[in-house]
Structure 1
Amino acid sequence: MPAEDIEMTDAVLVAATSAEVVVANGKRKPSGAQIKKARKEALLTEEEIEKALEQTKHRVHRRKKNLHIHRCRFVDWTPSTITTLAFSHRGKGHGGIPQGLRLAVGRANGDIDIWNPKLEWVHETTLKGGENRSIEGLAWSTADPSSPPRLFSIGFSTYITEWDLQTGRAIANLDCSAGAIWSIVADPHSPQLVVGCDDGSIVVIDISGGPGVMEYARGLSKVEKGRVLSLAWKGKSQIVGGCSDSALRVWDLEAPQGQMRTKMKVETVAGAGATLVWAVKVLHDGTIVSGDSTGAVKFWDKHYSLKQSFRLHDADVLTLAENEAGNSVFSAGVDRKTICYRVVNPTLGKWADVASRRFHEHDVRAMASFDCKTKEFLVSAGVDRSIVVNSMSRFMQTNHRTLPAVGQKSVMAVARKARLMMTWTDRGVKVWKLHKLKTSREGKLAPIVTAPQDEAKLVLKMTFKNEENLIAGTISPDGRWIAVGTVNETKVFRLVPKKGGKSGYAVMKIDVPELKEQGVHLLSFAQTKGSGESEETQSTPRLLIVTPDNEIVGVDMLALEEGAGDAVEELERPPVPAPAPQVPVDGEIVRKMPTHTENISHITVSLDGSYFAIIDLAQNITIYSLSKWGSFIQLPRAPAPVTAATFRTGAKDVGPTFVITTADMKVLEYDLATASLTEWSRTQAPNLPEDFTILRDKCVGMFFDPADRRTCWLWGAAWLAHIKMHVEMPKPTMRPGQAKRKIDDEQESFHQPQPVTNGKLKRSKKKEAKSVNAQLLERRQDANGDVEMDDSNEGEVDGVVSREEREKPFWITYKYRPMLTVDALAPGEFVVVERPVFDMLESEVARFHRHEYGQ
């Protein structure tokens, strides 16, 4: 093999003869006998061999330009539809945003996502549901300031469920002794709930006993031949309900038998049956607002008389929202429109529809609102799985924000060595194998970017019969082990390639008694270094489990397979530093924070199997040693919630470091030897380009380039970027037109670097700034979408600035979206998995469309 045709990697083993240079890169590893024989018969001296090796390295590095990306869209993971939304606190127009404010998002598969609206919306945790446990209503109780907010849910059954946000488990279930529950509302003034049922019953639930305690209190007068579809509090003692018999009703809780106070009829459509009152709200002045199946929104005065009626929707109005001042109301439903109504004459109480917008691709099932002196949110969601955040006061003047349907937590894992990709759903696992990139006669990689079905093969599909939804899954780096878990159980499987030339894998379940009742919050495999002679014993796989109780458990997979009794070992966590004390905001009562705010949010393992990191929602970072089980390093607390993290190990110029990205889009690097920020992080992290710092979609994952440990790749749902962590970042500058970020598929941003010489930062001469179009032309993209790292520019004549020094320190593209995962398979070879929204909607019923004349 000619030396100039060899593709080099990081680990190179060379033996030379007069005719060839033998290179082992993990794929074509020569045996020790072959190497010994080659060196014995070599006609070259050791010095000549080393010289030939260095020349080969330089030739290959000059020729490797392309970054080859498998662009995959065959992964059929789809999140569940969103059915309901609820904020934990009521808005206060005169006060600031409560420190414990959260948004609960209920889904049709029984899951409840908990979002923190601070720092541009962070997904903190998910409470996992189960089979046939759809969430159809949510209610937070904050009436008792001495206890954290309590979350309750209903779901087309007779039961009310209270959730423990810390463990993710249901801590109490109460049968309301009536029909299936359709609606729920919490009393803002006292610890009680009211639910409306399928048989027309109204049931009051007492929750004053504290978390986990619910008791039947009383029943109100029953609706004959009708369901109670929606509920709202009016004052401190009245309940307004929207029913399925073309009427609204008002119940008085102070009445001895909970009698109905009044009944308000709504019109029906001929031939359509009874009108369903899907939504009802009560404003501060006593005005009642209703939305029904005729598409009408009605305003009723405090004396229960109809004031105004708007029929602007083309189909059912499913949800309503209002601002804290009570002068703005919003409606949405099946026709996807969101309509804003405002008071135009406060004296007469006159309302008008002032704006209409369309944010969603399918039915809008739910809306929730919150506003205070400093923040305001109008949140909507539905069948298209996307959460849309808008302003209420500037409904038409501001751009809305759509939180990606793929979320901020990846549901995929990649086994680099085995070239396997794994994804998990509520009750199943799928594994694909990516084919190797083809090489030409010259040894170059073929320009493959899109991975169609023939470039990746489904090699494993598993379906589980468990009732609970899967919480997490992982696959070992060598592709030999798979682990999945629910809130109550952990399952481990051994993957064995099928024999007889058949493709795919056979699955062998490993029985682990200690894990049968061990719930899971997070899972990850670590490939630690062993001391054996065989390939299996040279690397010892260890399964790391974070339990719902925030405990850490390690499982030695080889010991487990051999039946050893000490395969499972628990790790004792060090005391976690106490969070900062709460500060009252504008005289607000300091309430206890939600119980999950100190939960572990991330577990990250170094690729060399030396360390793993534990990060919690309180922003504490602890680094543990895998070789010395129990040893740890406590890093300084992160300045904001951490959204992604990775290790950098094996680099020649720096020791092991740990890199994080925070919710406010800051990148910090910690030196593990000193447990402090590195020089790059102290001096260059504040100068990250504005194209990165203004990103609103959080960083979901990050990793270091296998071909260059100085390049860190980061990705979110709609962007992919890299940062060179060995060069000086240019000082932030505002380019023309940068105030409004373009998100065209072809847009990319580039920043010229400051060169580095001998490991030290060196400033280059200022060059004339190029236009954005000129910068785009510097990047070449072929018809398949290959991303080619351009290095064709000539350097300075005197050779002071080398090719490596001219590499750009920051690069970003918005071409791939929305992404489920991004990872490196090998040097110069990445995989990007996308899941377009329209593919998610293929399985849904066609959205509402009203034919109009001429269209």
Structure 2
Amino acid sequence: MEIHRCRFVEYMPSAINALAFTTGTARPLVACGRANGDIEIWNPFSWHLEKRILGELNTSVESIIWVHKLSLTETDKIIYSTKDEQEKALKELANKSPRLFSGSANGLIIEWDTTKLKSKKFINSHGGAIWCMAVNHANTLLAIGCDDGGVRIFEITDDGLSLIKNYDRKEAKVTSIAWDKEDKYIVFGTSNSLIIKWDVEQGREILRITPDKNSRKETIVWAIQVLKDDTIISGDSLGYVCFWEGTFGTMKQKLGGHDADVLCLASNMDGTMVYSSGVDRKCVLYRIVPKPKSYGKDNSVNEKYWVKVGYSRHHMHDVKALAICEERGVNSVISGGVDTTMVFAPTLNFPKSKYYRVPYVPLKPMINMSKSKKLIMFRSNDHIKIWRLGKAMPPEPDQFKQKIPRLELVEPQKAILEIKLKGNNQLMASSISENGEWIAVSDVERIKLFKVLEDDDNPVHSNHLKVRKIKDFPQVTIDGRNVGANLLGFVPNGSKLVVAFMNSEIVVFGLEIDEEDDVYITVLERFDDYSTKPDCEPLTSLTISEDGKWLATGDLLNQIYVYNLETLKHHMTINQFSSIHTSLTFNPFEPILVITLTSNQFYLFDLQQKKLTDWSLKYSEKLPQNFLNLKDKIMGCSFNPSSDSMIVWGANYLCLIDFNKCKIKEGTDNNDELICARCSGQQSKPKFLKKQQSGEQEQKYEKIYTDTISFQLVNRYQTLMYLNFIKHNQLVVVERSFSSILENLPPSFYKAKYGT
């Protein structure tokens, strides 16, 4: 098999500035705010990316917060006077979706529409850049710390935010902020060595704390937490985590667990555990313990103090955000920072617990391909770039003896087109037709269509391409605003363009070219199966079969519909699965749709028979357990035209599945499953698999040869961004190594040790 290993795609993820968990909701979510203005919403149970809201270019998310009101105010109790009315009102509040707010360096508080994936309201901070945000425990007031040194208090209403309090000071910017347990006070830290406690109701300063500072410069209080017992915890630029008495401001303890600035703090609900992290990449756990009798003569036996339990170092650069989720089934601390990756580690047995690094590549590939023209298109934030794949020399006889022969290039890959689009919005969807004649891109406001023109007489070996923008592409308007598409797809011959708009409406456009090379765009059909439902969620998947007959789409609620593009009618609805689907792929030779799930299961659906295939009925519920236990979710799959096999792939693995080798012994239970083993590249070398029988403590090893292995796992590649077959026994693999990401980051903190 000839493999094109492509490492020329210069994808660069953005740093993580803020993390936030929902609290008290039926389904916990994680919001991740990045330095390029993007917001990601993750499911913490399966660590699957559910939604991605694109920010504007040249903006950033400095802080992020969830708001979910779960209690009644005094005014609400007057409106709902009886106990039954109050219980009904509380249930309605609990069933409402949490609201998402973010603060940015441009001085705007933004409320986000998590269904339509766009901004909902903009509120001016009246104080410049917003560096920190905190919501009170009743979820009725929002406090922000601004660049001008002021603190603003906003009342959270159904219509948005209303400014009610303003603590105005011009000394230094507010870098951290937190509420006390009774929502009476706000504690905030500044960039000029101050911690201030402010009475919200009276609007006055009641306490001022001065941390230690260096003689050369002021100490910056980067992080603040307030515990249930009114203990104030601060993390500063000197690397100290300090514990302060909340009434008089006296220092109870000062722990120096860091070698550089402490940028973030997180504490559990009980106030018994505190995590800190920062520039030195350490994530340190502190726990409160009873003070022993021998600790001091005058101390009470019931007095407690804080100790450093230990630390872990999961990141390669500054850690800027920490968050704790104590929901059952999650119970983890999650961290993120400059190295662009999220890491979650179970709180049980921390710091020795096993952690999981969420892949830094997009879980929905940003790459499209034209197989016939050997073109690869990559979508960046503000531009698209197209390469033509290279050509290698045929392997020599001696190279077949090598484990993995490396072929010499006759023609290297060539960058033949780059389109930089105007506007302030990031690109969220793109597609290139199979014949390489059409390119479509979209942002949150509009769709742009381009006709590809060959620049040379020989189009196959053309070094450059030209494009012509098609003007007056039909747009969709909702509430007076243009909406773009979050998914695009061409039929292989380029005669139709399928658009999934952000309101979940699917429109099929016809593309025609006359003799004078004029393009005519017509609306062939509109499908509103998703958009007319009251619980409409954005579409996450769209795929078109290689014969151009079938269209399959899926949304976040796991509703998968199949349409016939020849008759332009709805064909069928596929029953919902227990897990959320991650990708939809058509078999290029048969009308079979492959559905992959977050549980790492996959199902093959026969579109003509409108049921699961015989293989899927027999094996989909009996997949190898070590394959199902893979942390990384399936991102896609591809079929090899030369054999009856399929490759499913995730960010850090690919798995070759040979349907002909899938056999389960008759008369056995599910413990004898399909065989899955890691491939070493030597097909004749046997494997030794652990087999532990029920009731037996000893593990037995069974000798298995590779010609009987139906699931072959391969981990020899760098992190995968895309994988697909282009022809018989020719595979394209697009890789992006973590080292290439780190090369583009500024130098990280380094402290030399003695003798080094």
TM-score by length of 1: 0.76
Asked if structure 1 preserves the Cα contact closer than 8 Å seen for 2:647 and 2:656, the reply is yes
Equivalent position to 1:415, from 354, 362, 370:
370
**2:452 maps to which residue?**
495
Are residue 458 (structure 1) and residue 393 (structure 2) matched? no
Query: Contact between 2:392 and 2:409, CA under 8 Å: does it hold in 1?
Result: no
The structure-2 alpha-carbon separation of the partners of 1:742 and 1:725, relative to structure 1 and needing over 3 Å to count, comes to closer
| Contact map agreement 2:525 2:568 (CA 8 A) in 1 | no
SS at match of 1:812: strand
- Tell whether the 8 Å contact from 2:512 to 2:520 is kept in structure 1 after alignment: no
Cα drift, residue 390 of structure 1:
0.4
User: What residue is the counterpart of 2:36 in the other structure?
Assistant: 109
Equivalent position to 1:549, from 484, 495, 503: 503
1:559 offset after TM fit, Å? 5.2
Which string of whole-angstrom CA distances, capped at 9 and with x for unpartnered residues, describes residues 149-181 of structure 1? 110111112211110011111110011222322
| Identity rate, percent | 30
Spell out, residue by residue over 1:734-754, the C-alpha distance to the aligned partner (whole angstroms, 9 max, x if none).
99xx9xx999999999999xx
Give the distance between the partners of 1:853 and 1:565, measured in 2 at CA.
73
1:714 maps to 2:653:
no
CA contact (8 A) 1:183 1:197 kept: yes
What corresponds to 1:486 in structure 2? 443
Q: Secondary structure at the match of 1:477?
A: coil
The alignment status of 1:225 with 2:171, answered yes or no, reads yes
Does residue 285 (structure 1) correspond to residue 232 (structure 2)? The answer is no
- 2:386 paired residue among 428, 431, 434: 431
Match of 1:762 in 2: none
Query: Do the aligned residues in 1 keep the contact of 2:390 with 2:410 (CA within 8 Å)?
Result: no
User: Structure 2 CA distance, aligned partners of 1:506 and 1:229?
Assistant: 49
> 1:823 touches 1:831 (CA, 8 Å); kept in 2?
yes
Deviations 1:337-380 (A, max 9, x none): 11111112273220011111100011111111110344302000
Q: Provide the residue aligned with 1:615 in structure 2.
A: 554
Q: Does 1:507 align with 2:453?
A: no
Which of 612, 634, 645 is the equivalent residue of 1:677?
612
Residues 557-599 of structure 1: per-residue CA shift (max 9 Å, x gap): 33599656652345223368989xxxxxxxxxxxxxxx87x32
1:748 and 1:814 in contact (8 A); partners too: no
CA 309–99 in structure 1, closer or farther in 2 if over 3 Å, else same: same
Structure 2 contact 231–246 (Cα < 8 Å) conserved:
yes
User: Does the C-alpha gap of structure 1 residues 348 and 431 become closer, same or farther in structure 2, counting only changes over 3 Å?
Assistant: same
Contact 1:201 1:219 in 2 (8 A): yes
2:581 aligns with one of 642, 657, 661: 642
Verify the 8 A CA contact 1:367 1:381 in the aligned structure 2. yes
Q: Deviations over 1:364-407 (max 9, x none)?
A: 11111110344302000111111100012321332110001113
What is the identity, as a one-letter code, of the residue corresponding to 2:731? F
Task: Report the Cα distance in structure 2 between the residues aligned to 1:436 and 1:555, rounded to whole angstroms.
Answer: 36
The equivalences for 1:656-675 within 5 A come to 656-675=591-610
Match of 1:134 in 2: 60
SS at match of 1:214: strand
* Separation in structure 1 between the aligned mates of residue 556 and residue 273 of structure 2, nearest angstrom: 35
**With CA pairs under 8 Å and 6+ residues apart, which has the higher RCO, 1 or 2?**
1
5+ residue gaps, structure 1, are 1-66, 91-97, 528-538, 580-594, 753-767, 779-805
CA distance in 1, matches of 2:226, 2:232: 5
SS in 1 for 2:222: strand
Q: Which residue of 1 aligns with 2:623?
A: 688
1:383 aligns with 338
Pairing 1:372–2:324 present: no
Distance 1:699 1:635 in 2: 20
Checking the alignment, whether the CA contact within 8 Å between 1:70 and 1:450 is kept in structure 2 is: no
Pair 1:830 & 2:735 matched: no
Write the distance in 1 (CA, Å) between the matches of 2:499 and 2:108: 32
SS at match of 2:495: strand
Q: Distance in 1 between matches of 2:23 and 2:308?
A: 27
How far 1:422 moved relative to its partner?
0.8
Q: Which residue of 2 aligns with 1:817?
A: 718
* Structure 1 match to 2:544: 605
Inter-partner Cα distance in structure 2 for 1:747 and 1:204: 66
1:245 aligns with 2:245: no
Are the structure 2 counterparts of residues 450 and 136 from structure 1 closer, same or farther at C-alpha, using a change threshold of 3 Å?
Answer: farther
Q: 1:700 to 1:747 in 2, by over 3 A?
A: farther
1:472 corresponds to: 429
Structure 2 CA distance for aligned equivalents of residues 633 and 89 of structure 1: 38
2:239 is equivalent to residue 295 of structure 1 = yes
The question of whether the paired residues in 2 share the 8 Å contact of 1:179 and 1:201 is answered with: no
SS of aligned partner of 1:245: coil
Please, which runs of 5 or more residues in structure 2 have no aligned partner? 71-92, 292-301, 477-481, 689-699
Indicate the residue corresponding to 1:697 in structure 2.
632
Contact 1:74 1:452 survives alignment (8 Å): no
Within 1, Cα distance between the matches of 2:494 and 2:490?
A: 10
Q: Secondary structure at the match of 1:680?
A: helix
How far apart are residue 187 of structure 1 and its match? 2.1
CA RMSD of aligned residues (A): 3.0
Gap change, CA 1:730 and 1:307, over 3 Å in 2: farther
Q: How does 1:141-180 map to 2 (within 5 A)?
A: 141-143=67-69, 145=93, 147-180=96-129
- CA distance in 1 between counterparts of 2:112 and 2:36 reads 16
Q: Residue 339 of structure 1: which of 271, 280, 284 is its match?
A: 284
Classify 1:245/1:454 alpha carbon distance in 2 versus 1 (closer, same or farther; 3 Å): farther
Contact 1:824 1:830 in 2 (8 A): yes
Distance change (3 Å), C-alpha of 1:620 and 1:454: same
Q: Is residue 718 of structure 2 the alignment partner of residue 849 of structure 1?
A: no
The 2-side partners of 1:745 and 1:138 are apart by 46
1:315 counterpart = 2:260: yes
Amino acid at match of 1:520: A
Question: Aligned partners of 2:234, 2:539: CA distance in 1, in Å?
Answer: 42
- Give the corresponding residue for 1:20: none
CA offset at residue 540 of structure 1?
A: 4.2
Aligned to 1:199: 148
User: TM (normalized to structure 2)?
Assistant: 0.86
Quick one: which amino acid aligns to residue 467 of structure 1?
A: N
Contact 1:320 1:331 in 2 (8 A): yes
In 1, are the aligned partners of 2:31 and 2:41 still within 8 Å (CA)?
yes
Q: Counterpart in 1 of 2:487?
A: 522
Contact 1:571 1:630 (C-alpha < 8 Å) held by counterparts: no
Quickly say closer, same or farther: Cα 1:742–1:476, change in 2 above 3 A.
closer
Alignment length, in residue pairs? 692
Partner of 1:793: none
Contact 2:719 2:737 in 1 (8 A): yes
Aligned to 1:627: 566
Which protein is richer in strand relative to its size?
2
Give a deviation string over 1:469-490, Cα, whole Å, max 9, x none: 1111111112221111100011
Instruction: Give per-residue Cα distances to partners, 1:106-153, cap 9 Å, x unaligned.
Output: 1111100110112x2110111001122101010111015263111011
- In the alignment, is the contact (CA less than 8 A) between 2:186 and 2:200 conserved in 1? yes
SS at match of 1:692: helix
Task: Quote the Cα distance in structure 2 between the aligned partners of 1:500 and 1:617.
Answer: 46
